[in-house]
Amino acid sequence: MKVYSFPRGGITINDPAVPQNSSSVVAFLPAISVIPMVQHPGGRAYPIVSVGDLVREGMLIGRGQGSLSANVHASVPGRVIRMVSWKAAGGQNNDALIIRMEGSFEKLGKREEFFPWLGMSAFDLHRTIAEFGIVEMEGSGRPVADMLTSLRNQQGTISLVVRCIFDDPWLAADRLLCRERTQAIAEGAHIMCRAGRMGRIVFALSQGETELGSRLMEEASRWEIPISLVYTGSRYPQRNQRELELVLRSFGKKENVELGSLLMLGPATLAAIHDAVAYRKPILDRYVAVGGSAVRKPQVMKVRIGTRIGEIFAECGGFVDKPRKIASGSPVLGRAVVDLDEPVIKTSYAVFALLEAHAQPRRNCISCGECRTVCPVGLDPEELYKNARAAGRNASRKPGISGSDSCHGCGCCDVVCPSRLALSQAILGMA
Ligand code: SF4
Ligand code: SF4
């Protein structure tokens, strides 16, 4: 089996505090859920229910407005008891509907009704994906309907790349989802290809995931579309768009496969596309890895959107001691959680609490060169960092000041820096 890896840099991430369970644990349903109107990069969804209203499970409660905005749905049945607003850690304004659970569930515990989609047109599939508010369930949460719109005027071959690459152990939730929902992921890939008139599916998998590769191929071969299986290295940031494109171009050249333009999506997004089209269901829950050194019992949980992060830590046995850092995402690129009442949203895939964060203070650069060794782009992060600091806040991207435009913010340099400098933030003009 040929394994394709990006040519230079990168790091191997090991973390014993990542959950290791072999099947997901279903979290308790939240008595109170917090449903933010912004779970995507565009403008806030406009709430279409008011305080005091009863809502059904899966009901539309916020309508997306304009590009990069997506519809928002109630994840549990209940009564809207409040609307709240707050400033997120990044400074953006956000607001949310608070729903107190009551009434009966229309979807939970019921046999799912299958809606045949093979006869649906690309237009109808696109509209259904938009209606159910499906977003890319990682990164900024770009709406899938916007991606489909941007494909409309694209000429030539387009390939859908399914990223089943686990270069970071904190992708444990995606890994488990791949095992538990293989069929939905394969079918979701076909639905997406039909909606976007794409000509090929590429399953990109970490080396060693041969069983998953066989299962995906078996499921996907039911439809008549060319499929490629590509095994990649597991070094971080192999899943990143740039590094993945590098290895896929190398695969295409070696195997003489015309890939054309690439659209990359993760397994959670494809399972959600499947559920929206085949079951007429919005995103009601999310597989989330819960762990870190401060958590008593790390586990991957299937959590309702809107569940407060404090509740899921409590369900994992609480903390062994007071955590020094709580964040969402991976320790490499995580975002600090400032309030345990923050909810799980469509793009949450991991939350962690650490005992040891900030144990050592930042020091000056000692010119050890470690950051240069790991940069997959071949940049000199030390020099870029120093230029950025000299040029002042937010000036590092000005032409002529530095070559920071090539940095894609993977954070490898931050991880290895013995002086604990926030290199990528400074290079990207965020610090
Ligand atoms: S890794 Fe840190 S200390 Fe070493 S050269 Fe780079 S910036 Fe300086
Ligand atoms: S964050 Fe930027 S400078 Fe640092 S390793 Fe990644 S690409 Fe290189």
**Which residue from 6, 13, 10 is spatially nearest to 371, judged by alpha carbons?**
10
What local confidence, expressed as pLDDT, does residue 401 receive?
A: 44
Q: Are residues 269 and 397 in the same domain?
A: no
Q: Are residues 273 and 387 in the same domain?
A: no
When divided into structural domains, the chain yields a total of 2
270 and 381 in a single domain? The answer is no
Query: Is 131 within the bounds of a domain?
Result: yes
Q: CA-CA distances (angstroms) from residue 408 to 172, 238, 242, 356?
A: 23, 13, 8, 27
Cα(341) to centroid of ligand 2, in Å?
33
pLDDT tens-place string over residues 281-331: 999 999 999 999 999 999 999 999 999 999 999 999 999 999 999 999 988
- Rounded to an integer, what distance in angstroms lies between the CA atom of residue 32 and that of residue 96? 12
In a domain, residue 349? The reply is no
Tokens 């045949």 sit on residue: 116
What is the 354 CA–ligand 1 centroid distance (Å)? 24
Tens-digit pLDDT profile for residues 130-170? 999 999 998 889 999 999 999 988 889 999 999 999 999 99
Tell me how far the alpha carbon of residue 7 lies from the centroid of ligand 2, in angstroms: 15
Instruction: Return the amino acid letter for 375.
Output: C
Q: Are residues 261 and 388 in the same domain?
A: no
Instruction: Outline where 152-240 has alpha helix (H).
Output: 172-180, 182-195, 210-220
- Identify whether residues 125 and 251 lie together within a single domain: yes
Q: Are residues 125 and 262 in the same domain?
A: yes
Which ligand has the shortest distance to the CA of 416? 1
Which DSSP string do the residues of 274-318 spell out, in sequence order?
HHHHHS-----EEEEEEE-TTBSS-EEEEEETT-BHHHHHHHTT-
What is the domain-level CATH number for residue 165? 3.40.50.11540
Best mutation site among 407, 421, 423 for ligand 2, i.e. most ligand atoms within 8 A of its Cβ?
407
> What's phi and psi for 62, nearest 5 deg?
-140, 130
pLDDT band at residue 70 under the 50/70/90 scheme = very high
Comparing CA positions, the residue from 231, 114, 115 lying closest to residue 167 is: 231
**Helical packing angle, 144-151 and 122-131, nearest 10°:** 150
- pLDDT tens-digit readout, 10-53: 999 998 889 988 899 999 999 999 999 999 999 999 999 999 99
Expressed in angstroms and rounded, the spacing between residue 9 Cα and the centre of ligand 1 is 15
Q: Which of 278, 296, 313 is the last residue of a domain?
A: 278
- Tokens 């949460």 found at: 141
> Which of 278, 299, 330 marks a domain boundary?
278
Say yes or no: CB of residue 21 within 6 Å of ligand 1: no
Q: Please state, in angstroms and rounded to a whole number, the distance separating the CA atoms of residues 195 and 242.
A: 25
Residue with tokens 């008891």: 81
Asked if pLDDT for residue 395 goes beyond 80, the answer is no
Same domain for 132 and 273, yes or no, is: yes
What residue's CA is closest to ligand 2, atom 4? Answer: 413
Residue 324 falls inside a structural domain: no
Q: Does the C-beta of 418 come closer than 6 Å to ligand 1?
A: yes
Residue 362 lies in a domain: no
Q: How far apart are the first and last CA of the chain?
A: 43
Within 349-403, strands assigned E span 350-354
Give Cα 339 distance to the centre of its chain: 21
Structural domain of residue 187, as residue ranges? 3-14+111-278
In order of 64, 123, 173, 280, 291, the CA distances from 127 in angstroms are: 13, 6, 28, 12, 37
Q: Does residue 206 sit within a domain?
A: yes
Q: Same domain for 266 and 377? A: no
- My answer on whether 133 and 266 are in the same domain is yes
Q: Which ligand is nearest to the CA of 371?
A: 1
Last residue of some domain: 278, 300, 326? 278
Give the integer Cα–Cα distance in Å for 338 and 320.
19
Give the whole-angstrom CA distance, residue 105 versus residue 109. 8
Helix 210-220, helix 182-195: angle, nearest 10: 50
Which of 11, 360, 362, 370 to probe ligand 1 with, by most ligand atoms within 8 A of CB? 370
Q: Are 246 and 124 part of one and the same domain? A: yes
CB-ligand 1 contact for 368 (6 Å cutoff): yes
Ligand 2 cavity residues, CB under 6 Å: 374-375, 377, 379, 381, 407-413, 423-424, 427
pLDDT-based confidence at 399, cuts 50/70/90? very low
In a domain, 407, yes or no: yes
**Helix, strand, coil percent content, the chain, rounded in steps of 5:** 25, 20, 50
Q: What is the token pair recorded at 414? A: 């931050």
Q: Which ligand 1 atom is at minimum distance from the Cα of 366?
A: 3
Q: Is there a domain that residue 240 lies in?
A: yes
Confidence grade of residue 89 (pLDDT, cut at 50, 70, 90): low
Q: Do residues 265 and 381 share a domain?
A: no
Strand partners, 302: 26, 287
Per-residue pLDDT at 358 exceeds 60: no
Give the global pTM.
Answer: 0.94
Assess if residue 53 is contained within a domain.
no
Residues 274 and 382 both lie in one domain: no
Helices 182-195 and 172-180: angle between axes, nearest 10 degrees: 90
**Burial readout 130-139 (b: 16 or more C-beta within 10 A, e: otherwise):** bbbbbbbbbe
